[in-house]
Amino acid sequence: MTHSNQKPLSLFLGRLLRRSELAQAERQAVLGLKSQVAQVRAHRDIVLLGDQVNSCCLVVDGLAARFDQLADGRRQLTALHIPGDICDLQSVVAPVASWGIEALTTTTVLHVPHAELKRVASEHPGLALAFWRDTIADASILAKWVVNLGRKSAQSRIAHLLCEMGVRMEQAGLGRRAAFAFDITQNQLADAMGLTAVHVNRTLQAMRGDALVRFAGRTVELHDWDRLARIAEFDPAFLQVMRGERELVDA
Amino acid sequence: MTHSNQKPLSLFLGRLLRRSELAQAERQAVLGLKSQVAQVRAHRDIVLLGDQVNSCCLVVDGLAARFDQLADGRRQLTALHIPGDICDLQSVVAPVASWGIEALTTTTVLHVPHAELKRVASEHPGLALAFWRDTIADASILAKWVVNLGRKSAQSRIAHLLCEMGVRMEQAGLGRRAAFAFDITQNQLADAMGLTAVHVNRTLQAMRGDALVRFAGRTVELHDWDRLARIAEFDPAFLQVMRGERELVDA
DNA sequence: CGTAGCTTTGATTGTTTTCAACACATGTGG
DNA sequence: CCACATGTGTTGAAAACAATCAAAGCTACG
């Protein structure tokens, strides 16, 4: 059933507010978006590669990933999405998907129809701008991934991803950067980093032995943030969050 | 001096029209953008890494690239830009650059002030949408680069880039996909593909011996498009051009 | 408690990098 | 017009990094 889901939508609103200032009416428009909840089990595809979609996926709980796939079935993840993220906001204006979306863990998503998003964007130009900015933030991460895949060692890549996720989780209010929920298999990690699962395994072992990282249950702990950031050459600027004025919302 | 440069701007308008329908008034607004011409010699940086900019770079002639850089100076290109492209449209709403722009060949650029772009975007919501779509098209290429860097061999990567550039040049009316101007050094190619110049050299030799590619002066010739596309697993869908309805402009 | 998926291990192979050197073209100033 | 510097393309040998293949433990879940 399609109806208003204020609590999950306030997560998304929070994400928008980290990068754009929105008037009260605009905030209400976001919270009033009609949408539909769904649960997806781990390892299932939420959007199939090449699907034509008419709604966006807002992650409410869990972890999702955008991916592309080669002819032989090998996958490359192109983005990780945490609660509050819309995985495919770009599909609103470019509905021919050349990607797929996969649930990495059991994930709750909100399907928000394109029609709803188009409506609020045209009624509130400030929202159109905020959506544009949101897309740009995703693209900025994508550009950083290109650098990591193109020029960094396995260890540096993994370190960078961990730093990225730590800061994002912290910003989203979902944990501390030094310890946060990150329930990902080494296979999935390999698909994100352009490596094999075996090599990810050995690299993680080395990092663990070096007291840099520990996966504990569904959580990851970063024991030495500074050293990890140095190995990763991590500079959070690319995450494009407005400093200071992080207004939070209580819906 | 800042003034109207209709001819170069019509290149950009053409690019917008390949993905968005624009009313007459919106087209005129684009052509009327105030801007400033500049020439940059090959290998010079147009925008320094981390610069705060207040204008966008529209490529009029030549070849430019967006890049990021590691601490040791090694570069990774994250996008190639041909005439008609705006290298950093995203900077309009995210002016803190976490990237640089480099002239690969001697390049003519048009500096279009953010203020101008913001003005036309707010006066014409259709343009704001077209800008968003343009950003998304760039991001879609970026996602494809992630896949190439993460999961493909040197030869497949290079083949994919050549196919991508061929189709883009053809769409922009700047050549045929099988033969187009591409005046890039093997060093620059290496920076784009996440390889070393030495390995690019050897890979190109193999492809040349295989009658796939030939660099002749400042142009490249793709002698067997189908085979090249197969090696690259190239599917042009990610370039997100509206099929058929490619309206052209005469300014 | 059995099973499927995940992590770990070892041995081997293959791709790509690194380092060093040389050939070749291009453009510049004397 | 030549001498020279610089950047670009090319080659070879060695080393490093990551992939591949195969198999064995481990864990979580039904």
The reply to whether the CB atom of residue A194 sits less than 7 A from any atom in nucleic acid chain D is: yes
Q: Which of A102-116, A229-243, B45-59 has the lowest mean pLDDT?
A: A229-243
Nearest to B55 by CA among B4, B8, B111, B98: B111
Q: Are the beta carbons of A51 and A97 closer than 8 angstroms?
A: yes
Residue A169 confidence (pLDDT) above 80 = yes
Who has greater pLDDT, B93 or B79?
Answer: B79
Quick one: angle between helices A125-151 and A6-17, nearest 10? 70
Q: State the fold for domain A3-137.
A: Jelly Rolls (2.60.120)
Would you state the pLDDT for residue A1?
A: 55
Query: Where does the pLDDT of residue A69 fall: very low under 50, low under 70, confident under 90, or very high at 90 and above?
Result: very high
Preferred mutation among A88, A93, A114, A160 to probe B, highest tally of B CBs within 10 A: A93
Which residues have CB under 8 Å from A244's CB, separation 6+? Answer: none
Residue range(s) occupied by CATH 1.10.10.10 in chain A = 153-232
Would you state the pLDDT for residue B21?
A: 94
**Apex A34 CA angle, A28 and A35, nearest 5:** 125
Mean local confidence (pLDDT), B52-76:
96
Residue A68 confidence (pLDDT) above 90 = yes
Q: CA–C1' span, B216 to C21, in Å?
A: 26
Q: Do B137 and A235 touch (CB under 8 A)?
A: no
Tell me: the pLDDT tens digits for B192-209? 999 999 999 999 999 999
Query: Where does the pLDDT of residue B245 fall: very low under 50, low under 70, confident under 90, or very high at 90 and above?
Result: very low
Nearest to A213 by CA among A149, A203, A175, A64: A203
Residue A249 confidence (pLDDT) above 60 = no
Which CATH architecture best describes the domain B3-143? Sandwich (2.60)
The mean of the pLDDT values for chain B is: 93
The reply to whether the CB atom of residue B122 sits less than 7 A from any atom in nucleic acid chain D is: no
Query: What letter does residue B85 receive in the DSSP assignment?
Result: -
Query: What is the Cα–Cα distance from A94 to A88, expressed in whole angstroms?
Result: 10
Neighbours of A46 (CB within 10 A): 22
> Which residue's CA shows the smallest distance to C1' of C7?
A201
The mean of the pLDDT values for chain A is: 93
Q: What is the largest CA-CA distance in chain A?
A: 55
The reply to whether the CB atom of residue A202 sits less than 7 A from any atom in nucleic acid chain C is: yes
Residue A250, class by beta-carbon neighbours within 10 Å (0-12 exposed, 13-18 middle, 19+ buried)?
Answer: exposed
Who has greater pLDDT, A251 or B129?
Answer: B129
Q: Are the beta carbons of A223 and A214 closer than 8 angstroms?
A: yes
- Cβ contacts (< 8 Å) between B189 and chain A: which residues? none
- Which residue on chain B is closest to A88 by alpha carbon? B136
- Cβ contacts (< 8 Å) between A140 and chain B: which residues? 90, 94, 98
Q: In what side-by-side order are the strands of the sheet with A219-222?
A: A175-176, A179-181, A219-222, A213-216
Q: Are the beta carbons of A92 and A120 closer than 8 angstroms?
A: no
Q: Are the beta carbons of B85 and B13 closer than 8 angstroms?
A: no
- Which residue on chain B is closest to A71 by alpha carbon? B233
Output the CA torsion B120→B125→B130→B132 (10° steps): 100
CA B193 to chain centre: 15
Query: Where does the pLDDT of residue B22 fall: very low under 50, low under 70, confident under 90, or very high at 90 and above?
Result: very high
Residue range(s) occupied by CATH 2.60.120.10 in chain A = 3-137
203-242 of chain A touching strand C, CB 7 A cut-off:
204-205
The reply to whether the CB atom of residue B140 sits less than 7 A from any atom in nucleic acid chain D is: no
Would you state the pLDDT for residue B62?
A: 96
A153-232 — its CATH code? Answer: 1.10.10.10
Query: What is the Cα–Cα distance from A127 to A17, expressed in whole angstroms?
Result: 11
Residue A196 confidence (pLDDT) above 50 = yes
Task: Measuring from the CA of residue B187 to each C1' atom, give the nucleotide at the shortest distance.
Answer: D8
Which residues have CB under 8 Å from A137's CB, separation 6+? Answer: A19, A239, A240, B94
Query: What is the Cα–Cα distance from B133 to B137, expressed in whole angstroms?
Result: 6
- Cβ contacts (< 8 Å) between A127 and chain B: which residues? none
Nucleotides of C under 7 A from a protein CB: 5-11, 15-20
The reply to whether the CB atom of residue A196 sits less than 7 A from any atom in nucleic acid chain D is: yes
Q: CA–C1' span, B198 to D13, in Å?
A: 14
- Cβ contacts (< 8 Å) between B74 and chain A: which residues? 151
What one-letter code names the amino acid at B96? V
Coil vs helix vs strand at B138: helix
Residue B112 confidence (pLDDT) above 70 = yes
Quick one: angle between helices B186-193 and B154-171, nearest 10? 100
Query: Where does the pLDDT of residue B96 fall: very low under 50, low under 70, confident under 90, or very high at 90 and above?
Result: confident
Token couple for A207: 């990092």
Tell me: the pLDDT tens digits for B113-148? 999 999 999 999 999 999 999 999 999 999 999 999
**Apex B64 CA angle, B62 and B66, nearest 5:** 170
- Which residue on chain B is closest to A66 by alpha carbon? B143
Residue B251 confidence (pLDDT) above 60 = no
Q: Do B136 and A135 touch (CB under 8 A)?
A: yes
Token couple for A103: 């649930």
Q: What is the DSSP annotation of chain A? A: --EE-HHHHHHHHHHHHTT----HHHHHHHHT-EEEEEEE-TT-EEE-TT-B-SEEEEEEES-EEEEEE-TTS-EEEEEEE-TT-BTTGGGGT--B-SSEEEESSSEEEEEEEHHHHHHHHHH-HHHHHHHHHHHHHHHHHHHHHHHHHHH--HHHHHHHHHHHHHHHHHHTTSEETTEEE----HHHHHHHHTS-HHHHHHHHHHHHHTTSEEEETTEEEES-HHHHHHHHT--GGGG-PPSS-------
Mean local confidence (pLDDT), A27-54:
94
- Cβ contacts (< 8 Å) between B123 and chain A: which residues? none
The reply to whether the CB atom of residue A154 sits less than 7 A from any atom in nucleic acid chain D is: yes
Q: Do A233 and B99 touch (CB under 8 A)?
A: no
Which residues have CB under 8 Å from B67's CB, separation 6+? Answer: B49, B75, B76, B77, B78, B99, B100, B101, B102, B191
Query: Where does the pLDDT of residue B109 fall: very low under 50, low under 70, confident under 90, or very high at 90 and above?
Result: very high
Q: CA–C1' span, B102 to D8, in Å?
A: 18
The reply to whether the CB atom of residue A185 sits less than 7 A from any atom in nucleic acid chain C is: yes
The reply to whether the CB atom of residue A143 sits less than 7 A from any atom in nucleic acid chain C is: no
Would you state the pLDDT for residue B7?
A: 85
Query: What is the Cα–Cα distance from B251 to B249, expressed in whole angstroms?
Result: 6
Query: Where does the pLDDT of residue B247 fall: very low under 50, low under 70, confident under 90, or very high at 90 and above?
Result: very low
> Which residue's CA shows the smallest distance to C1' of D7?
B185
Who has greater pLDDT, A168 or A250?
Answer: A168
- Which residue on chain A is closest to B95 by alpha carbon? A240
Query: What is the Cα–Cα distance from B84 to B108, expressed in whole angstroms?
Result: 11
Would you state the pLDDT for residue A47?
A: 95
